[in-house]
Amino acid sequence: MIKKLESIEQQVLKKISPTEQERKRIKKIVSELIKEIEQEIKKFDIKLSIELVGSIVKDTYLKNNMDIDLFILFPVNVSRKKLQQTGLSIGRAILENQEECFAEHPYVRGTFQAIKTEIVPCYCIASAEQKISAVDRTPLHTKYIKKHLLQTQKKEVMLLKQFLRGIGCYGAEAEVEGFSGYLCEILIIKYGSFQKLIVNAQNWKYGHKIKFTDEKTPDFDTPLVFIDPVDSQRNVSSAVSEKKFNFFIKACIEYVSKPSLTFFFPREIKPWPLKKIYNKIGKKQFIAVKIKKPSIISENLYPQIRKSVRSITELCERYDFKILDYNFFIDKQDIYMILLPKKHKISQKKIHMGPPIKMKKNVKEFVNRWNNNRRTLNQPYEKNGRLYVEIKREYWDIEKLIEEQINNLSLGKHLDKIVKDNFDVIRNDELIIEPLRIFWTEYLDEKMPWER
């Protein structure tokens, strides 16, 4: 089995390792970018320095997946406002296809000579205790990896990154909720190799904690906890969702038992025909809220969508509609927040439980409330030492509930505005459509990515 694992991993490395020509090209591009930034910072009366961070400088980047992360370091006596204004000005002057992003303060993301590039301002600090903003730690992370990651371990990091990409768990951004590049690097430093990590991860349970020292550290209620070796108060793996944590463990178990290249390079999804989707859904009756997609970056969009789907689900369950599952899909123009209720319509009558008879004050309040209430169908009655009343539900049709109550929910800054203007509540016939074929194929297919 070990030989098979090694054979597969050698094949993977051949595919993902940058060639000498590619290394020279990216080195040249970075050099030219730094020269342009050096010229730009001369326009400002501040002593600034430039530092390349991220996978390129750590030599853990993958072929055809090169991003440039360049930080502009400011003296700590510069105001936050001036740091932001100057950092944005430099980024805007140099990058193409740019968009303004926000970590703890704004920065510019775009392209430089067709390579994805981020230019991020931060404060120049010597240790995490001196940090003024969260991004100030990033240059310290780079220094740590360059010092502690062995040359032979760089390929192990690359294997882990490709494995995570293959199973859909790579990236700490809101869209993925998975493993960051830095987390991959310190995992390899901790466990020594990709194979050793995979073997150990099979036994992880929710709340698994990893750290390099025995010093006391905070508790974090997250699926995976890895204490940052640069900042003992930070959990590097805080972005990893429970879904991706469990998915990674499952992939590790199955990779070790039945290794295959498809863990690293899964076959492309072939969307099912609509007829097959319709047949697979069968008698299940989905319902969805459809809204226009706002023009905002994914880091802002995805948390709001997840919050919205949870809020709509909680609303439905608050009114006794059991939700069996929920999900969402985003295309170029629209967002579909999709729920699977057990029933679309429930009984108009509801037995509402009151207090025990012995609680005289509560009994009086209960009787006064429901005796002449417009929703009361029969007067309160006693059963087994407790009061009950038969009432008419406020909502017995889930569609009407959502239509009338969605504007009372908190869905997120941008989605609230869109929903107030316009939304549609739609059912199966409007959901089993061409733009959602890939969504339904992934959702309904019982195969893991590596089994396709």
**pLDDT-derived band at 105, boundaries 50, 70, 90:** confident
Entry field: residues in the chain: 452
Residue 104, pLDDT > 80, answer no
- Cα separations in angstroms, 58 against 26, 142, 229: 13, 7, 17
3-state helix vs strand vs coil in the chain, percent to 5: 45, 20, 30
If you ran DSSP here, which 8-state letter would residue 238 be given? T
Domains and CATH numbers, the chain: 18-144 (3.30.460.10), 149-266 (1.10.1410.30), 274-345+396-451 (3.30.70.590), 349-392 (3.30.70.1550)
Tell me which residue of 186, 184, 237 sits closest to 209, measured CA to CA: 237
pLDDT of 338: 98
pLDDT at 446 over 90: no
Cα–Cα distance, 201 to 248 (Å, whole number): 8
Q: What is the mean pLDDT of residues 120-127?
A: 94
Q: 326 in helix, strand or coil? A: strand
Question: What percent of the chain is predicted at pLDDT more than 90?
Answer: 90
Distance (Å, rounded) from C-alpha 116 to C-alpha 138?
A: 18
User: Which H, E and C letters describe 127-185, residue by residue?
Assistant: CHHHCCCHHHHHHHHHHHHHHHCCHHHHHHHHHHHHHHHHHCCECCCCCCCCECHHHHH
Answer for the pair 309, 318: CB distance below 8 angstroms, yes or no.
no
Q: What is the mean pLDDT of the chain?
A: 94
Pick the closest to residue 369 from 352, 346, 350, 344 (CA basis).
352
- Per-residue pLDDT tens digits for 142-171: 999 999 999 999 999 999 999 999 999 999
Mean pLDDT of 128-142: 92
3-state SS record for 38-91: HHHHCCCCCCCEEEEECHHHHCCCECCECEEEEEEEECCCCCHHHHHHHHHHHH
Backbone angles phi, psi at 333, to 5 degrees: -115, -30
